[in-house]
Each structure stands twice: as C-alpha cells, then as structure tokens.
Amino acid sequence: MINCLVVDDEPIARKGILEYIDQVEFLYAAGVCKNAIEASVALQNNPIDLVFLDIQMPKLTGIDFLKNLPDPPLVIFTTAFPEYAIDSYELNVLDYLLKPISFERFFKAVAKAQAQLNFKIKQDPLTAESYFFIKSNQKLEKILFLDILYFEALSNYVIVHTKSKKHIVYMSFKAMESQLPPSHFIKIHKSFIVAVNAIQTIDNDELLLPGHALPISKSYRSSVMDKVEKKMFKRL
C-alpha cells in the first residue's frame, strides 16, 4: 500500500486527486494539506511514500518546499503551469501532471511510483527494523517484516498473519504479492504466501509454521522446494 499526501491550495484539485486515489487499490490517502506549511507537519507525523504536490501555492511554492526537504518521499507535481517542467527534472521529481489531469495519465504516474517503491523493497535487505504500513480497521498499522508468518487470500481482502495477531486488509492478493521482496516470501498455494524464515517443516504436501499447517499445491511445490534448497545450501 502506497501512503499518499495531497498538497494543493485548490479544493477542487484536492477533491479530484483524492477521488483518483480512491479508485486505485494500492494507493491510500494518508493526508490532505492546503499549503506547504501543513505538508511539512504531515510529513513529520505520518509515513508518506508519495506526495502529489501543487507548485503555485501561497507563502511557499511547491518547488521551494521540495528544495528544503532533507529526505523527500517520491513526488509527483500537479500543476496548471507547464513552464516548471525543467525545475522538476532538476529536483528528481517522479512525474509532472498538467491540470486538468485525466485518470489515464494519473494511473501511469502512480504505476511508475509503485514500480520504483517495489524495486527499493526488493533491493533492501530485511532487518529487525524493516517494516511497512497497512490500512486495517480504518487505521494505519505498522507491520514488521520479520513478524510475518504468512498471507492468506480472502475474496477481495488479504489476511496478514503475524506472530502475535492477524490483520485484515482491503487489497487484492496479487497487489499484496507485488509489494513483497521475493527473496523472503514464497507463494505455496493460490491462497497462501509464506515467510521463508518462518518455515519449520515441509512434510509432503504440507508446510508447517509456528502454530499453523498450510497446504502446498502441486503447481507450486517445485518452486517451494527450489527456494528451500537454496536456503539450505547457503547455510552449509
């Protein structure tokens, strides 16, 4: 799930971006701001992956605001002024959307954000502090990667089973799978993805985790065994 912040001084523009975000299953509107000052506070208090940032705003422009951020998240400029495109490239902005923004153009930009964030997750090694946020029960909850046992598909939802509890997330199983680092998670069934480090035993067509026994489907058994054998080889 990509946590988004919308920053624009125009109510209609904010409403339009929020409606688009609501239509994309891997996006979550974590905050809405009318100016750069509010955005600065929001970034300090919330985990934000992607900012939709207007340029022409009172007191502080989007460009000046971005220049002063020490460690900015991904940024997509949303503006009615094409003349700032060169500035956006110099600031390493992900994309530059001209108002009025079509949904097709919006989706192309956020798909680029998803690909970039997925690449970062897959490249970064998991540590005891590695985590992500999910939207569960109308709130954001922090999940440590190393606490996860497995993911379970349930219609249009995903159940995240951790060592201490389970979380129900409104998200497709395919979208969740795309967010996971493949070296640490493996699909064993059309309805189950397990954390490799949580596997205790593989017994024929059954995989045992702490407190759980899950089926391994025939179509996934070969890939499961290949990954487990590679882990065994690394430890010898």
Q: Is the pLDDT of residue 232 over 70?
A: no
DSSP 56-93: S-SSS-HHHHHHT-SS--EEEEEES-GGGHHHHHHTT-
Please give the C-alpha separations between residue 19 and each of 14, 16, 110, 120, 234, in angstroms, as whole numbers.
9, 5, 14, 27, 48
pLDDT tens track for 19-72: 999 999 899 999 999 999 999 999 988 889 999 999 999 889 999 999 988 888
Lowest mean pLDDT: which of 101-115, 133-147, 219-233? 219-233
Domains of the chain with CATH codes: 2-123 (3.40.50.2300), 145-235 (2.40.50.1020)
Judge whether 6 and 32 are in contact, CB under 8 Å: yes
pTM, rounded to two decimals: 0.57
Question: Residues 126-171: pLDDT tens digits?
Answer: 665 577 777 767 777 888 888 999 999 998 889 999 998 998 888 7
Pairing of strands 201-203, 157-162: unpaired
**Residue 235: what pLDDT?**
43
Per the prediction, the chain carries an average pLDDT of 86
